[in-house]
Amino acid sequence: MEATLTRSAADLDLDPAAQNAVVTVRDLRVKAANSRGTNELLHGVSVAVAPGTMHGLVGETGSGKSITAAAIMGLLPKGVTVTSGSIKLGDRELVGLGHNELHELRGPAFGMIFQNPRTALHPMYSVGKQMGRVLAEHMELGRKERTERVLHYLRLVGIPDATRIAHAFPHELSGGLAQRVVIATSLLCDPTFLIADEPTTGLDATVQRQILELLARLQEDLKLSVLMITHDLSIVAQYCATVSVMYQGNVVEDGTVRQVLRSPSAPYSRNLLKASRLEFVTQRERSGLTAMSA
Ligand SMILES: Nc1ncnc2c1ncn2[C@@H]1O[C@H](COP(=O)(O)OP(=O)(O)OP(=O)(O)O)[C@@H](O)[C@H]1O
Ligand SMILES: [Mg+2]
């Protein structure tokens, strides 16, 4: 029986790509407390996202992907806390920052895209109004400039009739359109870092592809650093440069997508690959496409 590998902060220190990372999580431990006691959810997670790259965070359900993302954003659920470790945005330590400081950072420094765009959008406000409110919170702009900025970002995410959509309410939008609006909103304040937590899971296959292509294009054009959380190794193979594999609250393996998908060393990654997407990778290789970045 092989031992489960877990990545430690010491491994990150040896990794040149982690040295100038935009976001660096080191030895992060997170616990949940309730009336019956406490339960550790993350057992020392280390993840680094290099500038201008898309890093995949993959793993089975319950492995701790969303808790890791929530910890980075300072949005852990009630009763769930960081007990030790570090989360840095550039040189800035985020663990221990107060609610207000984190709130101020969130719009300008990093954006979030969740699985269900409908829960991210306020049902009572038009698209333009809610995007305008986000801008008003984080940027000092006049009314006209705010409107122009909202329309600019709606167009940037592939919504040509931006004015009409700005007047629409969330229930009037299809799932794909709603997710485009969420992406536009996440970009409004020029963040350098985006977390996309299963951004396409609820969408049908064609729309899923369109949204992933859009994220890939934006990542490249705007030189964003993206943490792409997914169950789906084919998404990692196609869109990410590097990847961390999570299993039961640990990162069991990370590296370039090529390394991890070609020769996974952790038993869990090997099983994940075998169970899900090996065929996809070989298919792409057979058709002469470069499935994985170097
Ligand atoms: N609010 C909470 N209180 C207590 N435990 C929680 C809470 N939210 C999540 N957990 C637990 O933390 C662990 C990790 O959950 P998390 O949501 O991060 O998994 P995940 O990898 O994102 O899974 P999925 O792929 O299903 O989204 C799970 O065991 C889950 O039950
Ligand atoms: Mg999740």
pLDDT in tens, 93-138: 999 998 888 887 777 788 889 888 888 899 999 999 999 999 998 8
The model's pLDDT over 14-47, given as tens digits with 9 standing for 90+, comes to 666 667 889 999 999 999 998 888 999 999 999 9
Pocket test of ligand 1: the residue of 42, 45, 47, 65 to mutate, having most ligand atoms within 8 Å of its CB, is: 65
Structure tokens belonging to residue 125: 């406000």
Q: Please name which ligand lies nearest the alpha carbon of 76.
A: 1
Q: Please name which ligand lies nearest the alpha carbon of 37.
A: 1
pLDDT at 280 over 70: no
Residue 160: burial class (beta carbons within 10 Å; 0-12, 13-18, 19+): exposed
The model's pLDDT over 209-225, given as tens digits with 9 standing for 90+, comes to 999 999 999 999 999 99
pLDDT at 172 over 80: yes
Structure tokens belonging to residue 6: 């877990």
Structure tokens belonging to residue 244: 């961390």
Position in ligand 1 atom list of the atom nearest CA 79: 3
Parallel, antiparallel, or unpaired: how do β-strands 80-89 and 250-256 relate? Answer: unpaired
Structure tokens belonging to residue 260: 């991890």
Confidence of residue 6 (pLDDT cuts 50, 70, 90): low
Query: In the sheet that 54-59 helps form, which strands lie side by side, from edge to edge?
Result: 110-113, 193-197, 225-230, 54-59, 242-247, 250-256
Q: Which residues pair with 39 in a beta bridge?
A: 32
Give the CA angle between residues 226, 18, 2 to the nearest 5°.
95
Pocket of ligand 1 (CB under 6 A): 32, 41, 59, 61-67, 77, 79-80, 231
Distance 2 CA to ligand 1 centre (A): 26
Res 13: pLDDT: 66
Q: What is the pTM of this model?
A: 0.89
Q: Range with the lowest mean pLDDT among 29-33, 48-52, 99-103, 266-270?
A: 266-270
Sequence ranges of the domains in the chain = 9-286
Which residue has its alpha carbon closest to ligand 1 atom 18? Answer: 64
Q: With beta carbons less than 8 A apart as the criterion, state whether 97 and 74 touch.
A: yes
Q: In whole angstroms, how far apart are CA 243 and each of 37, 70, 246?
A: 33, 18, 10
Higher-confidence position of 174 and 271: 174
Residue 70: burial class (beta carbons within 10 Å; 0-12, 13-18, 19+): middle
Architecture label for domain 9-286? 3-Layer(aba) Sandwich (3.40)
Q: From CA 24, how far away is CA 219, in angstroms rounded?
A: 19
Res 292: pLDDT: 42
Q: From CA 52, how far away is CA 42, in angstroms rounded?
A: 26
pLDDT at 152 over 80: yes
The model's pLDDT over 91-104, given as tens digits with 9 standing for 90+, comes to 899 999 988 888 87
Pocket test of ligand 1: the residue of 43, 66, 235 to mutate, having most ligand atoms within 8 Å of its CB, is: 66
Distance 131 CA to ligand 1 centre (A): 29
Q: How far is CA 178 from the centre of its chain?
A: 17
Average pLDDT of the segment spanning 71-95: 94
Res 10: pLDDT: 66
